[in-house]
Amino acid sequence: MRAVGLITEYNPFHAGHEYHLAQAKALSGADIAIVVMSGNFVQRGIPAMYDKWKRAKMAVQNGVDLVIELPVAFSIQPGPFFAKGAVEILLAAGVDTIIFGAEHAEWNFMKLAEQVRESTQQAAEFHNYKQTFASNFNAVLLDELGISIQDPNDLLGLSYALAVLELGAQDQVMIRAIQRKGQAYHSTQISQESFVSASGIRNALKNKSMQTKVLHSLPIGTQSLLLEPPFLDYEQPMWQLLYYKVMTTPVEQLEKIYQLNDGLAYRLLDIIGHSPSGHQVDWNTFMQCFKSKRYTYSRLQRSILYTLLNVSEAEMQIALQKPYLRVLAFNSKGQLWLKHQRKDFNLPVISKVNQNNLQEYLKLDLRAGRLYNILNNRGDNMPQDTNRQPYRLPKPSPERNENDEMEF
């Protein structure tokens, strides 16, 4: 058996993802599709629309064979760290091909990565601290290679290729791009195009009158989620938690939080301290005040999430050195893969949470799950990371033995 790997957020799973999955299986000739999916918080540092269990279930209902969680230490990072964690997990899970969507699928991303790695090692532009990393990176590409990469999916594709090089896996895995179709990545509008962006779907679902309009763009395995209340309105509870955290923590301690250095802790304290109220502040207005030329919105949003999770620099560095395979969902083919290939996995496999793996691997994910439930007004009545088992898509046969669900 052969496996193809996909790196996703599925926030939510839509027709474009369905196309990506079908193309990945067809182009690779693989027997199963293994997905690494961000957990309860996505790369931009905000909560996912639905929790990781619902999104993983949605994925296997739409044809994915095995869903593995991308730990929060990697999922809420900029592209290079995000990509390295995801690629390392897919390699450990045994895939021989990784297929991703790109705006310029005709590019040879591996060849480009080799050129980029050689050109950027000593580039002076990376010492221009008044610009964002993305701006510096593109300045190097333009100066050294004569190209500029602006589209998020192209940047991620390059990050995947660079991760393969860094992991020394050029002979182990092939990466391949497929052409993205439909709306632009950040488009928030709903049109008649068959592939509506995830941003457009999320925007439409905020308005109940538009939910039926967006139904046509969602695969059958996703539509049932619309019957459940979506998790969208996180801004106000996040603001309240942030206000309390910043106003009750000495700034010297805030500076110890991961990536809240270089004056960001003082800037955050100043902005929040001068806000008119700890309970009635528009989130977008606050973010505009917090924004600077040096940092992107996503970088600052992630900094806020690190603050709410109380993640120190040391704690994050330890977590980044300990990737693992956290199984969220699978079908019968994914179960067989786990059963027969598990002996060859070179990372720990976590399907049932216990005290040992909670302390060794899942400390950050446990905190992230609790924060997600607080923001979603759930408390801890339905924990995200304890007393949970992977979802197994029921077999078509009525003779299926329920007691065999977790055998792998």
Q: What are residue 14's phi and psi, to 5 degrees?
A: -130, -175
The pLDDT value recorded for residue 383 is 86
Per the annotation, does 331 bind a ligand? no
Per the annotation, does 104 bind a ligand? no
Per the annotation, does 16 bind a ligand? yes
Which residues share a beta bridge with 90?
none
The pLDDT value recorded for residue 9 is 95
Beta pairing class for 174-179 and 32-38: unpaired
Per the annotation, does 11 bind a ligand? yes
* Cα–Cα distances in angstroms (integers) from residue 34 to residues 14, 25, 121, 241, in the given order: 17, 10, 33, 36
Per the annotation, does 12 bind a ligand? yes
Per the annotation, does 188 bind a ligand? no
Q: pLDDT tier at 182 (50, 70, 90 boundaries)?
A: low
Per the annotation, does 63 bind a ligand? no
The predicted model gives 256-262 an average pLDDT of 93
- Mean pLDDT is lowest, of 149-153, 223-227, 372-376, 380-384, for 223-227
Whether the pLDDT of residue 278 is over 80: the answer is no
The pLDDT value recorded for residue 98 is 98
* Between 128 and 252, residue with greater pLDDT: 252
- Mean pLDDT is lowest, of 48-62, 86-100, 221-235, 268-282, for 221-235
Whether the pLDDT of residue 187 is over 50: the answer is no
* Between 20 and 115, residue with greater pLDDT: 20
Per the annotation, does 101 bind a ligand? yes
Per the annotation, does 8 bind a ligand? yes
Percent of the chain with pLDDT over 70: 83
List the one residue out of 400, 396, 298 whose CA is nearest residue 41: 298
What pLDDT, in 10s, does the model give residues 112-148? 899 888 876 654 444 444 556 666 677 777 777 777 7
Per the annotation, does 19 bind a ligand? yes
The pLDDT value recorded for residue 345 is 95
Per the annotation, does 7 bind a ligand? yes
Contact predicate 331/65, CB 8 Å: yes
What CATH code would you report for 3-104+151-227?
A: 3.40.50.620
Q: What is the rounded CA–CA span in Å between residue 249 and residue 253?
A: 7
Whether the pLDDT of residue 185 is over 50: the answer is no
Q: Please state the pTM of the whole predicted model.
A: 0.88
Chain mean pLDDT for the chain: 85
Q: Domain coordinates of the chain in residue numbers?
A: 3-104+151-227, 235-311
